[in-house]
Amino acid sequence: MPASKNGWMVTEKGIYKTSFNLKDGFTFKQYPFYKVDISELSPGLFAEGVGDNEVLWLGSQDEKLYRYFPELAIKEKHQNYKALIRAIFANGQKVPLELGKLPFSSNNLLFEVAYPVFGNESKTTFSYWLEGQDNSWSAFVSDYKKEYTNLKEGKYTFHVRAKDASGEISQEGILEFKISPPWYRTIWAYGFYLLMLVLAFLQFGKYQAKKSFLKAENERKNSELAAAKDLQNRLLPKELPSIKNLDIAGYLRTSTEVGGDYYDFFEQPDGSLYAICGDATGHGTPSGMLVSITKAGIIGLPQLTPKDMLHELNRVVKKVDLGILRMSLNIAYIKNDEVTLSSAGMPPYFMYRASSKTTEEIQLSGIPLGSFNNVHYDQTTTHFHSGDILVIISDGLPEAPNLAGELFDYQKLQDLITTYGNLTAQEVIDQLMLEADKWLSGNHNPDDITLVVIKHK
């Protein structure tokens, strides 16, 4: 191959060819060379051939020899290649280059890129742009890896371009992909949330309606309770009878729900006295009605023995027919120094004897009023001397529970009556209720407590 007729120079800016002709004089043409740094080449070179076949032989300072085709380098420079996406990793695991749609769990991506250019690859730099995440292109950097972490759901387009050692910028490498939302942000999830919201509103509406209903129901019950309590109080004696030789006291403490307890006194023209203590089954207005019927029946009866009064009252209550409602009743008839007792399903009477300072329990059989037709009741008559005390009760006190669930008990009540037998009728009631309060320890009595105490002076 003949020697080249052109002049060649290696400079810091590249390789230059100088030629001369009569028309243009000297001309200079720069050729790209980026296999190695120009600074690594030795100043000496050898050129041979002409035109496109011209070849340069260049030596490096580390004794390497390079063969360089300048015209081919010009053509190569103008061949603009595309930057390539060589590999993709999701959460450290290699994935196919056609990403398509990724699950939200794979939202940490690493892209490895390359640029297919012949030359000094160490001088190649890259610029990145993740459309959907970045606002613009990044600066050119030598790192051929680009990582994105914690990407949100959505559509993305990854762009990469390269710049070679000569400053030429490549065509873009482009990859479109999509990251799916997490399951709790999918359309199905939002549909479920909407459904739950609708159901919650419906449930809230039902709750409000139920709350309003319960409020109205409570107000109704409270109104009925107040009316029943008022009725119960109206049925009690307005004042205690004043009878020679008798000290009389009565007391009723209602429960949380108004029960059917009742007591009364009926003084007769001859100075005798009927003492009544009763307990209607149930609570509230129905039991109040039964007590009203019973009291009206007593008022309408002529002066009879206690057992005959119970017989007639049973007939009246049974005839009215209040369903399952029943009326338990004790009737004591006191005249001079005798007391006659009869019972329709009530607790026993207690009689304190001043002479022996003991208390007797007097239990009489009998079923509550309204249970059956044509029922006959037992009765007993006993002496009633000075200092003696007759105590008539409902089951509210002896069956009152303490915090441990233990009942006050009839025996305890009998012993207490003996203890307080020297007191007045009202003082006996006061002491018994103090004992009841200690027993209840602040709790309200679950059933009405009724006490009737009559002391013979």
- Determine how β-strand 273-280 pairs with β-strand 260-267: antiparallel
CATH of domain 84-184: 2.60.40.10
Per-residue pLDDT of the chain (457 residues; tens, 9 = 90+): 556 667 787 776 667 788 777 777 778 777 766 655 666 677 677 778 776 778 878 777 777 777 777 777 666 655 668 899 999 999 999 999 888 899 999 999 999 999 887 556 678 899 999 999 999 999 999 999 999 999 999 999 999 999 987 778 899 999 999 999 998 888 898 899 999 999 999 999 899 999 989 898 888 877 777 776 776 677 789 999 999 999 999 999 988 666 689 999 999 999 999 999 999 987 777 888 888 899 999 999 999 999 999 999 999 999 988 888 999 999 999 999 999 999 999 999 999 999 999 999 999 999 999 999 999 999 999 999 999 999 999 999 999 999 999 999 999 999 999 999 999 999 999 999 999 999 999 898 988 999 999 999 9
236-456 homologous superfamily: PPM-type phosphatase domain (3.60.40.10)
pTM, entire model? 0.57
8 A C-beta contact, residue 41 and residue 61? yes
Fill in the DSSP letter of residue 404.
T
Q: How far apart are CA 160 and CA 303, in angstroms?
A: 118
8 A C-beta contact, residue 259 and residue 281? no
CA 140 to chain CA centroid, Å, is 56
Backbone angles phi, psi at 16, to 5 degrees: -120, 140
Q: How far apart are CA 171 and CA 152, in angstroms?
A: 28
Q: How far apart are CA 330 and CA 278, in angstroms?
A: 6
Backbone angles phi, psi at 382, to 5 degrees: -140, 160
What sign does the dihedral 74-80-86-90 (CA atoms) show? positive
Q: Could you tell me the residue ranges of all domains in the chain?
A: 7-78, 84-184, 186-222, 236-456
